[in-house]
Structure 1
């Protein structure tokens, strides 16, 4: 609980106008395998064939701007957006980027900012969520669903980004960076990272003169139940339920799924707990949207590509689903991103966070 609250405060502190940072912290190990190497393979070394729909940016165009990490910014890594005309302004003088309005065009063309303030290069697998669906986008002139980029140590990278042909209305956009995406380790130090090695930030893109949301999400009717605060409490938790069992697993008996084994061709009996811990939350209730990924591709759970649940403070909702894994033996990465209050107007609703969070990244081994 304290770690969760500390994480939220740190992220608020480290976000300055256009950056959101996630600080990694792990405390557990079970000795399953040797710890992962501290060096991330370079983008040019990554076996892109193990993940579909990936463009590897082994070289960058002259439009990409790499500059020293900006002074006055704290944190290890981050992601944000900036308008082309504002790139030369100091960070503290740039206008808001919670919302972009498109009048003369329906193409969203900011510059994507990736930050790395560590002593080693960082590799990110970038994807884009438009109205809670994963969509292709263009990065440095190359279109793809997933794009692999390496950010040098202590650098800020500005890359041309494009999401074209948006329809009139209000769109929610999240660009997501999965750090160290090819790490297949089963080491608990890595798998129990509560931030999931994710950097992401949401923004709204309004096309034309209408504010009507481009998509209406079905809010699940699962009745929220009191959160009795077991030994482990996270916003989004993955549990393995017994086959045929549908009742919520008691918080006192919960064991989070960090790694697990699945027989080839067999469904994985999953229970997802979506929780709202704060007893003094500023909002009486909130809709939390959870987008699931398997091997960095959006999937459906319980027939839905996004799980949206309405939660009051100190309550949680439980979703049961049978997760089907690929018919390929080996490690598969299962993770979700989540945010509160889809389509919120963050220029007016200052209580809604611009951050997009990541769950733990579980390793499911198909045998």
Structure 2
């Protein structure tokens, strides 16, 4: 919400699909948050500018991630500010991660729609919107696979296992400290229209790399499927860590023409980093 529209009836406020600012000015708005829960609901709020997670100020406090508890039956209106550098069209989105302190290791509690993260996109034009402010890597194009069912945007799979992909979903896995996390990313388009979208890997709600890249640019023709193998760096700390992949449709396009103006992360996986096992443990116990 624009600051000047704060006292305007929500039904009469102008669209927030696009903003124009002058070079050197920050992007300043009010973030509106609400929840249908009857108790305060904990969330983490993050902001991505041109598909990179960046620090921003929320209610005057600057940080990469902001922890909030949304009160019940209240619309929170929080001032938000982020610097925007360089002329051109900038893609920006804010995403909210629910229950960041919840770390269940029961696979059933990890199935969607548990812990679905979501947010809204907007476009910021600095001086002009003629050219994107960032060049994306060339899109990886999926081969036609004659698939007609089961829509999948970006689901991590356990590699090296037999069976169909839906039985290999990475819900919970244990990795020894110091090892690499091997993942296979699964994307599928059963529809009749092509899809173009960006995938961002996150570990513990912070942007990380998958297959040595901080983002993937995917193009899925109709009835196609893609499997992408890669590694994800592991945190050094032992314990349960959170892995997610955010998907954003039609990068650097007018939001009135995109497939979906929202962003989402439908699956949050538990990655248990454990200390190295002792020789006794590997042999089944002491003699």
> Is it true that 1:182 corresponds to 2:101 in the alignment?
yes
Contact residue 293 and residue 299 of structure 1 kept, 8 A: yes
In structure 1, stretches of 5+ residues that fail to align are 1-81
What residue is the counterpart of 1:309 in the other structure? 218
Could you state the TM-score of these two structures normalised by the residue count of structure 1?
0.70
Superposition map of 1:7-46 within 5 A: none
Name the CA distance, whole Å, in 2 between partners of 1:130 and 1:223: 27
> Is it true that 1:366 corresponds to 2:273 in the alignment?
yes
What residue is the counterpart of 1:264 in the other structure? 177
Could you state the TM-score of these two structures normalised by the residue count of structure 2?
0.88
Change in CA separation of 1:352 and 1:195 when aligned onto 2, cut-off 3 Å: farther
Change in CA separation of 1:250 and 1:148 when aligned onto 2, cut-off 3 Å: same
Superposition map of 1:207-356 within 5 A: 207-226=126-145, 228=147, 233-242=151-160, 251=164, 254-277=167-190, 279-280=191-192, 284-347=193-256, 349=257, 351-356=258-263
Superposition map of 1:44-59 within 5 A: none
Secondary structure, in 3 states, of the residue corresponding to 1:302?
Answer: coil
Name the CA distance, whole Å, in 2 between partners of 1:139 and 1:325: 29
Secondary structure, in 3 states, of the residue corresponding to 1:95?
Answer: coil
Structure 1 range deviating more: 141-150 or 164-173: 164-173
In terms of fraction of residues, the more strand-rich structure is: 2
Task: Count residues in correspondence.
Answer: 274
What residue is the counterpart of 2:27 in the other structure? 108
After superposition, the CA RMSD in angstroms is 2.1
- Give the Å deviation of 1:300: 1.1
Name the CA distance, whole Å, in 1 between partners of 2:263 and 2:147: 25
Contact residue 143 and residue 226 of structure 2 kept, 8 A: yes
